[in-house]
Structure 1
Amino acid sequence: MAVALSVALGAGLAAPGPAAAAPYAAIVMDMRTGKVVHARGADRRQHPASLTKLMTLYLAFEALETGQLRLDQKVRISRKAARQPPSKLGMRPGQRVSVRSLIRATAIKSANDAAMALAEAIGGSQRGFARLMTNKARDLGMAQTTFRNPHGLTQSGHLSTARDMAQLARALYFDFPQYYNIFGRRSATAAGKRVYTTNRLLASYSGAEGMKTGYTRAAGYNLVAAAKRGNRRVVAVLMGGKSSRWRNQRIARLLDMGFKRVPARVAEIPPQRAGKGDGAVAKAPLPQPRPGAAATGIAALGSALASPAAAAARDLSRHAPLYAELPRPAPGRRAARPEPKTVRLASAGSLVVPAGGVPVPAARPRGAAGDWQIQLGAYRDRQSAERRVRTIASAGIPVLSEGSPAIAQRRRAGRAMYLVRVQGLGADEARSACSQLEASGKDCMAIAPSR
C-alpha cells in the first residue's frame, strides 16, 4: 500500500479569498532525535486545519496493525461522511469503499469524506473517534492538542501547536515504517478515481519525503514537511502562513536551516511516550490454526509469538521501530544466510530462533518450494519486526502463504538489525510477491539462493 506524505489542501468551510491573518508559528526538528534547532511560537495553540489528518492516519495505521481493519476491507459510507464539504472524494451514501482507498484519499487528496469514513469505521462516530485522537495525542506527548473531528475543519476547541505536530510526524516515522512512504506519493487510485497531491514540495524540494498541508480561514496556510539528505532527516512545521506560495517558500528555508544545523550522524532517539492513553485501539488476537490442524507458516508464527514461552523471551519495553533500508548484495557477493538453531515450543512445533531473535517457523526443506527468499523490511528492534510479520497475513497476496516467515538477526555498523523474510519460495513466487507488494507501495527484495 502506498499513500504519500501528502500535502493536500485541507479544505475548510472558508469562502474563496485570502486567509484571515493567523499567528505565524514554526518549528524545525531533527527527525531522528527530536532535537529542536529552531522554534517560533511553537507552543501557541492554533487551528491545525488538515494537519489533523496525520492523527487520523496514525489511528488508521494502528487499526491495520492490530487487525481491527484490513486494507481490502470494505467500509460503508454513511450519509454524514458523504455530506462532508470539499476537498472530498465524492462518495455516495451506502457506497462501499476499501480502507486502502480511504487512506489514499485522506493522505493524498486530503479528502474530508474519506477521513470521516475512517473515523466512523474505527471510532464508531465522530465524537468517539475524536476521543481516541485526543487520548492518542496525550500518549504521544502532544499535551497542547485537543481534537474534535478527523479532518480539521474549524471547530471550537479543535486546537494544536507546531511542536505537537512535529511530535506526531516523528511518531508516524518511527511507529509505522511500513506505511511511511504513503506520505511521499504524488498520485494514486482511490475508489476508481485518480487522486493527486497538492504538495508542491515533493517536486520542488530536494529530498522531500512529503507530509501534510492544510488550510482554513481560521488556520491560515499550514504545512508539516519532512525531508532527507544523506543521513540527515529533518521535519519542519509551519502554521499561520499567508498564502500557499509564501508557506512553501518559507518551509523550504526552514528545512535548509535544519539541514545546516543537525549533525550528519547521530544515534536515533525514539519518541517518548507520556503514558498509555485509554483510547488506544485494542490489540487483535493473532491468527490461530483450525482445531486439529497443524500450525504452519504464518499461523504457526502467530501461535509462537502468542505463546507464554515466546512472550517471556520478548522485550516488553515500549516499542521504538525505525525502518532502515539495507542495500542489495553487491555483484559477485553471496547473500549471507542465517545460522539458526532449532528448538521446540508446544504451541508451534519446530521453530527457528536466530541468535538473539524471536521464535519463527522453520523454513521448509530445500527444494520443497524453492530456495528463494523475499525480504520485507529491516528493523532496529525485535518488536518492530514482529509487527511487520503480523501484517504479512493481511497483505492479500496468496503466494506469501506458500513460504515460511522468518526473522533473522544481523549486525550492521555495530548495531543489531532484524530482517523480516519469507523463505522457501520459488523464483517466480518470490518475484511475483515482490511485484505485488511494490505495486501497493510496500518494500520488498527478492533474494536468490547462494550456490
Structure 2
Amino acid sequence: MDAKTGKVLYSADANGRRYPASLTKMMTLYLTFEALAKGKISRNSPVVFSAHASAEAPTKLGVKPGDSVTVETAILSIVTKSANDSATALGEMLGGNEPTFARMMTAKARALGMTGTVFRNANGLPDPGQFTTARDMATLGIALREHFPQYYGYFSQRSFLYGRQRINGHNRLLGRIKGVDGIKTGYTRASGFNLVSSVADGNRRIVGVVMGGTSGGSRDNQMATLINTYLPRASTRGGGDLVAKASGNNPITALAKVLLPKHDAPTPDDKPMVEDDAVASNDDPTTADATDATDEQTTAAVEETAPVVKTRKVKTVIVSAPQIATAQVVAAYAEPTPAAVDPVNTASVPSGWAIQVASSPKQSEAQAFLDKTTKQAPKVLADASGFTVAFDKDGVTYYRARFGGFGSKTAAWKACTALKKKNIECYAVQQ
C-alpha cells in the first residue's frame, strides 16, 4: 500500500480473516503513543507488572510481579523482543485491566477504519476471538507513522540494553533491505509467520503486510520481493487523508464503544438440546502457544496446505496465506462471532457442521473435555477435529468444546446420536 496516497499497489486475499499474533502489539503501541502525546503518561512513567502480566508466556522481559520498568523500556522490549509481559502490563496500565484495554483497542481499530479486526488481548497470544486482515494491518502501519512521527523511530530499534543484557530484535529486514524502518513481526502456530514492513526511499513510502508464512525466511523473502517490485511504483507526491485522524472527539470512536456487541451470536434453533449456562470464573484462559518464541524457527504445526500465497496480478503490498474464515470484510461497528479455532493444532477453521459437547469458563477445561470425549468415542470422532470457541455472556468469556469436519447436518446428527449412546450429550451446529 502506498503510504502517501493510500493506493493499493498489490493484494492477495487482503480482506481474509487472519490471526495477528504479535502484530497485535502494534495497536498496543498505538494507544501507548497516544497516551504519551496527550501527556497522560511520560516515557519515564513506571509500568507495574501484575501477577497476570508476569505470568505471560515467552517471549517476555521476565519482570517479577510488583516490579516495574519505564514506559520507554516497555516500548523497546516490545519492538525488539516482542515481550508479551510488557504488552500486557502496558495494557493494564492504560485500560485498568486487559479486557477493558482490548475493548479500547477494538474501538480504536474501528476509528481508524479497520473494520475486519477484533482484539481480545494486548500481546497477540492465541485467542480464537482475536483476528484481523492484511489490509487492516497496513492501515494501522500507516497510522502509526502518520499520527505519531515523534515516536515512530522506536520501530527501527534493532536492539537495546536491559540492565547488562543486550536484547536483539526479530525484524531481520532492518539493515538488510534499503529503506526498511520497521514495523513488527509476529508468529504463533495458528497464524504462521507474519510481518508488517514500512519502507521509505527518497519521496516514496510503502507499507507491506505478509501473513501466514510457513517460515520466517520465506516470509522475509516474500516481503523483500514485494518491496523491490512495488516501491518504484509508489507515488512521490502525497495526497489526502489516508486513515481516521487521531482526535479525542472522533465520533466514530464513541459509536464503536457503544455499538460493539458484548454477547455471543444466537445459536441455531434446530439444536437437539439447550446448552447449559456456565458458571462465571475469573480464571485466565490458557496460553498454550507463545508468540514470537523465535522468529527464525519453522514449525510442523503450520499446516502443509497453508503456504505463502504466490503473487498474482491483482492490486497491494499485502499477501496472506489461505483464509481462516470466508473472505469477508466485517461491517463497521459490528463485532463478528469469534473464529472457531484451536490455536495450537490448526491454521484453518473447520467448516461445514460441527457438534458441541461442552461449555466451560476455562479454556483448559473445554480442551480437557475434548480429549476425554475423543478417548471415549475414538471411532465416532475418527475423522473429526476438536477445537474451542470463545464467546462472551454477561461480560464473562466462556469456551465451547466442539468437533468439526462433518460434511452435512445428517453426519453431525448421526455422530451426536452415537455419542449419546455413550452418555455424552451434544448438539449439532453449522459453522
Higher RCO (CA 8 Å, separation ≥ 6 residues)? 2
Within 5 A, what are the aligned runs for 1:34-433? 34-190=6-162, 193-267=165-239, 269-272=241-244, 275-278=251-254
SS in 1 for 2:254: coil
Q: Which letter maps to 1:100?
A: E
Distance in 2 separating the partners of 1:64 and 1:272: 19
Within 5 A, what are the aligned runs for 1:7-18? none
Q: Which letter maps to 2:30?
A: Y
Aligned to 1:12: none
Q: Which letter maps to 1:124?
A: G
Distance in 1 separating the partners of 2:188 and 2:111: 27
Distance in 2 separating the partners of 1:72 and 1:191: 16
Tell me how far 1:272 sits from its aligned partner: 3.4
State percent identity of aligned pairs. 46
Q: Which letter maps to 1:240?
A: G
TM-score normalized with structure 1 length: 0.54
SS in 1 for 2:105: helix
* Structure 1: runs of 5+ lacking an equivalent: 1-28, 282-451
Tell me how far 1:264 sits from its aligned partner: 2.7
Tell me how far 1:77 sits from its aligned partner: 1.1
Tell me how far 1:68 sits from its aligned partner: 1.9
Tell me how far 1:69 sits from its aligned partner: 1.4
Tell me how far 1:132 sits from its aligned partner: 0.4
Distance in 2 separating the partners of 1:255 and 1:264: 15
Distance in 2 separating the partners of 1:261 and 1:275: 35
Q: Which digits, 9 at most, give the CA deviation of each residue in 1:253-276, with x for residues without a partner?
A: 111122132133343644235843
SS in 1 for 2:36: helix
Tell me how far 1:126 sits from its aligned partner: 1.0
Contact 1:72/1:99 (8 A) holds in 2: yes
Contact 1:101/1:189 (8 A) holds in 2: no
Distance in 1 separating the partners of 2:169 and 2:256: 30
Distance in 2 separating the partners of 1:182 and 1:264: 25
Tell me how far 1:278 sits from its aligned partner: 3.2
Contact 1:189/1:195 (8 A) holds in 2: yes
Contact 1:75/1:99 (8 A) holds in 2: yes
Q: Which letter maps to 1:38?
A: Y
Q: Which digits, 9 at most, give the CA deviation of each residue in 1:181-225, with x for residues without a partner?
A: 110011123466432111110021111111000000000000000
Distance in 1 separating the partners of 2:231 and 2:151: 24
Distance in 2 separating the partners of 1:279 and 1:49: 27
Closer, same or farther: CA 200–129 of 1 in aligned 2, 3 Å: same
Tell me how far 1:50 sits from its aligned partner: 0.4
Contact 2:110/2:256 (8 A) holds in 1: no
Tell me how far 1:33 sits from its aligned partner: 1.4
Q: Which digits, 9 at most, give the CA deviation of each residue in 1:224-258, with x for residues without a partner?
A: 00111111011100101110000000001111122
Q: CA RMSD in A?
A: 1.8
Tell me how far 1:160 sits from its aligned partner: 0.1
Contact 1:87/1:110 (8 A) holds in 2: yes
Tell me how far 1:279 sits from its aligned partner: 9.4
TM-score normalized with structure 2 length: 0.57
* Structure 2: runs of 5+ lacking an equivalent: 258-431
Distance in 2 separating the partners of 1:151 and 1:131: 14
Distance in 2 separating the partners of 1:83 and 1:193: 21
Q: Which digits, 9 at most, give the CA deviation of each residue in 1:296-331, with x for residues without a partner?
A: xxxxxxxxxxxxxxxxxxxxxxxxxxxxxxxxxxxx
Distance in 1 separating the partners of 2:244 and 2:224: 28
Q: Which letter maps to 2:128?
A: S
